[in-house]
Amino acid sequence: NGKLSLLRNPLNLLLNSAAEDKYFEIGGTLTLNPMSSGEITRITWEHKGDVVAEYIKDSVPLEYLSDLKGRTNVDLTTGVLTVKDMRKSDDGKFTVEINNRVLPVSFNAVGIKPLPEPAVVLKNPTTCYKNSDSCNLTCNGDVRDSGPVQYFWKLREDGAWKESGQDWMLTKIQMSSVEKIICKIQNPISEKESGPLHILVFPPLCSFISDVLGVLMRSVALLVLFGLVVWFFWQNRMCRCRTREDNQA
């Protein structure tokens, strides 16, 4: 019976148990802690079935092997394995044996790319302003190969983060009081925050008309000022001419 054989063989049971996912940033460092206690007299770390580090007290000094050699370090007090300059090809299962006992912990290393800086984007910019009934937003950023991600939102810089999906719909009540909208992307190893997005008080068309009126009013004000200056100099010139004529008379 295959099931009975598996139960009778603890090693098979361990090898077939689910490994803990450990995410690392490509180019970064992977740290695996077996949570071992007591003195370590013998330790062997394996990666995808190949020995990467081995130590036997008073017999075999700590030795590093395989394609991870030169990037690997083992703390003989804690059993912690550290691998630097991690590559995508380093994905795979790590197992450890300490003092002739295969520990009931294994790690599935998964390389992921750094998160991009996201941006809050209006999905309906022509209808998204203070008095809108609703406003649809998305937290935009290329998260392909960045591992499992979560999205968070807040409505002002000192506000509390609210977990949601990549897309978020603001209600009319939220729109009336919103100051700035900020989103954040988070994966198992890092997080990135967007810059703030300011919601318009008026619709884009009203804002355009307001801008045009502002330009026109400034232009009219400049013309009036120019006219006053010209009128002042003209009046000054006329006064001088009258004074000269009176003196000649």
Put simply, whether the predicted model's pTM sits higher than 0.85 gets the answer no
Provide mean pLDDT across the span 197-214: 58
Fold for the domain defined by 2-112: Immunoglobulin-like (2.60.40)
Structural contact between residues 23 and 188, judged by C-beta atoms closer than 8 angstroms: yes
**Tokens 């063989």 identify what position?**
9
Q: Nearest to residue 157, comparing CAs of 194, 186, 124, 125? A: 194
Per-domain boundaries in the chain: 2-112, 119-198
Q: Mean per-residue pLDDT for 196-217? A: 62
Residues shown for the chain: 249
Q: What is the pLDDT of residues 106-121, one digit of tens each?
A: 999 999 999 999 999 9
Asked if the domains 2-112 and 119-198 are classified in one and the same CATH topology, the answer is yes
Residue pair 181/199 in contact (Cβ under 8 Å)? The answer is: yes
How far apart are alpha carbons 65 and 54 in whole angstroms? Answer: 8
Lowest-pLDDT choice from 15-19, 90-94, 234-238: 15-19
For the chain, what is the radius of gyration of the CA atoms?
35
**CATH number of the structural domain 119-198:** 2.60.40.10
- Maximum distance among all Cα pairs of the chain, rounded to whole angstroms: 137
Amino acid 8: pLDDT: 37
* Alpha-carbon gap, residue 210 to 20, rounded angstroms: 58
